[in-house]
């Protein structure tokens, strides 16, 4: 009989202890330790494949110079946004973890991916839904990748003709297989028989391994199941996608080692009350960790947004006070967003300071700079800031656009809809340089803006190590400013 032992795990961070502790020494959380029974199997490492003999080979150290490396072709998906966040496509043998809020669209995204890859054999393993539930969603999602998607985009905002959108049910990818199972041993038996090209696990918190005597979702079970899937992915060169739950603090549920074990961690973000979703890269061993993809949640599934700037900008017939356009970067991607401000007389003794999609402390800093350096009396005024589209921006380059929007609302003077801003404001009122300013200028020019305000420190003099920006190749007028007073003088006189 295999020996078993009792251990205590912190449900917050995964810290293991031989005895119960009231306070976790790792994360300092109270009353988070739970008892779990660990079984020691007779075999040291369980094989994912019953006939596997590759584990019998002993590894030997090899010099780096002797290792042969060839650039492998990545597996491209029909979703360009998904390829972007993965660094150019799916890498063979990679283990990808996708986390997000309940109902944000994680299962929808992965099932949509499985249905739109007809040349591959995809195994979708679900421990949360039945086969009939997944079939109902597949019937709804199949139109995203086919002719029905094109019809919907052509008639966006109009009433669709029922005869146009109806398509035969044979459009569903016949290479997509559904398995409702939670035992890893049974899952690997089906994988061995099916030999899929891609495996999706929904979700990792519902799986359980027979080698661990604890409930699914516990720290030890999540760690063991992930280790078994990791061995399978590396030995068979089959990419595996894991869907993970998150805690109330927004962190991925389970031990922190889960994020260390996988190759890529993606975070699916967004407000369920808005239609836009952001797929953000948190960790990526095969590409940049600064990429993101933007989707629009529709009744038929997720639609990729190739040009988010056109969606985040409102279509207005005439300029309105308190509204400006700022050039920001989300990861490596330039976007133009609409920044709104409302300044009004405070009806109560204490003025209100409210910001949606922006840091409230940074808003207080901008108000202090405007009052100290420019002489605007904002201490007794209510100030409300809003970033349209339901997204949150942390790029300091929108400081200049927000400051101009505040003064525009305060003075009730509208700013031209063909003007945008990209600059960080310092405590002394200077306009500081921002990174990748050329990409911001090119994005503004592509969307038809006539002028953009940037910092003069983005144009270094010759002889410095920084590359000099050639403004003559842009058709848009680039207004170079050095401080906030100069900007207000050009805009408001």
Residue ranges of the binding site for ATP: 100-107
Instruction: Dump the DSSP string for 56-79.
Output: GSPP----GGG----PPPPB--S-
Token representation of residue 57: 């080979």
DSSP assignment of 210-263: TTEES-TTSHHHHHHHHHHHHHHHHHHT--EEEEE-B-TTSSBSS-THHHHHSS
Beta bridge partners of 328: 335
- Which token pair is 277? 């979703």
Cβ atoms within 10 Å, residue 439:
15
Residue 223, sorted as left (phi over 0), alpha (psi -120 to 50) or beta, turns out to be: alpha
Phi, psi of 269 (to 5 degrees): -120, 165
Q: Which residues contact 32 (CB under 8 A, 6 or more apart)?
A: 10, 11, 12, 24
In sequence order, what are the beta bridge partners of 452?
420, 478
Q: Give the tokens for residue 107.
A: 């299962």
The Cα 251–Cα 239 span in angstroms is 24
Say whether the peptide bond before residue 285 is cis (omega within 30 degrees of 0): no
């Amino acid at each position: 009989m295999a020996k078993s032992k009792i251990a205590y795990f912190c449900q917050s961070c995964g810290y293991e202890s031989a005895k119960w502790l009231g306070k976790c020494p790792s994360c300092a959380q109270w009353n988070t330790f739970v008892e779990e029974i660990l079984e020691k199997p007779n075999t040291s490492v369980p094989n994912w494949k019953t006939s596997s003999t590759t584990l019998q080979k002993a590894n030997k150290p090899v010099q780096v110079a002797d290792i042969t490396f060839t650039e492998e072709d990545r597996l491209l998906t029909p979703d360009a946004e998904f390829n972007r966040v993965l660094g150019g496509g799916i890498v063979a043998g990679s283990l990808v973890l996708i986390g997000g809020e309940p109902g944000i669209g994680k299962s929808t995204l992965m099932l949509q991916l499985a249905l739109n890859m007809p040349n591959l054999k995809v195994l979708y393993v679900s421990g949360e839904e039945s086969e009939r539930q997944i079939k109902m969603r597949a019937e709804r999602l199949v139109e995203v990748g086919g002719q029905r998607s094109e019809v919907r985009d052509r008639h966006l905002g109009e009433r669709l003709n029922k005869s146009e959108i109806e398509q035969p049910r044979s459009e569903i990818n016949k290479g997509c297989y559904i398995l409702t199972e939670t035992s890893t041993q049974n899952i690997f038996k089906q994988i061995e028989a099916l030999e899929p090209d891609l495996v999706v696990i929904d979700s990792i918190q519902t799986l359980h391994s027979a080698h661990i005597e604890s409930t699914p979702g516990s720290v030890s079970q999540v760690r063991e199941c992930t280790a078994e899937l990791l061995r399978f992915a590396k030995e068979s060169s089959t990419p595996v996608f894991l869907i993970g739950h998150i805690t109330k603090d927004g962190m991925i549920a389970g031990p922190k080692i889960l994020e260390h074990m996988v190759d890529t961690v993606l975070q699916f973000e967004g407000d369920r009350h808005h239609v836009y979703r952001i797929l953000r890269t948190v960790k990526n061993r095969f590409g940049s960790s600064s990429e993101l993809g933007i989707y629009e949640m529709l009744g038929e599934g997720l639609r990729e947004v190739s040009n988010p700037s056109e969606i985040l900008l409102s279509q207005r017939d005439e300029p309105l006070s308190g509204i400006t356009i700022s050039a920001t970067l989300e990861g490596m991607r330039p976007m133009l967003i609409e920044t709104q401000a409302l300044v009004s007389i405070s009806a109560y003794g204490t003025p209100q300071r409210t910001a949606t999609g922006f840091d409230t402390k940074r808003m207080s800093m901008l108000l202090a700079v405007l009052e100290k350096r420019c002489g605007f009396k904002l201490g007794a005024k209510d100030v409300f800031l809003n970033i349209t589209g339901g997204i949150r921006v942390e790029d300091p380059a929108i400081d200049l656009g927000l400051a101009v929007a505040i003064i525009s609302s305060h003075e009730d003077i509208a700013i031209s809809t063909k003007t945008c801003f990209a600059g960080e404001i310092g405590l002394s009122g200077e306009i500081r340089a921002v990174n990748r300013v050329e990409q911001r200028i090119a994005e503004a020019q592509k969307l038809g803006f006539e002028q953009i305000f940037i910092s003069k420190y983005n144009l270094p003099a010759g002889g410095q190590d920084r590359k000099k920006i050639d403004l003559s190749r842009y058709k848009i007028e680039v207004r170079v400013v050095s401080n906030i007073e100069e900007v207000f003088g050009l805009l408001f006189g």
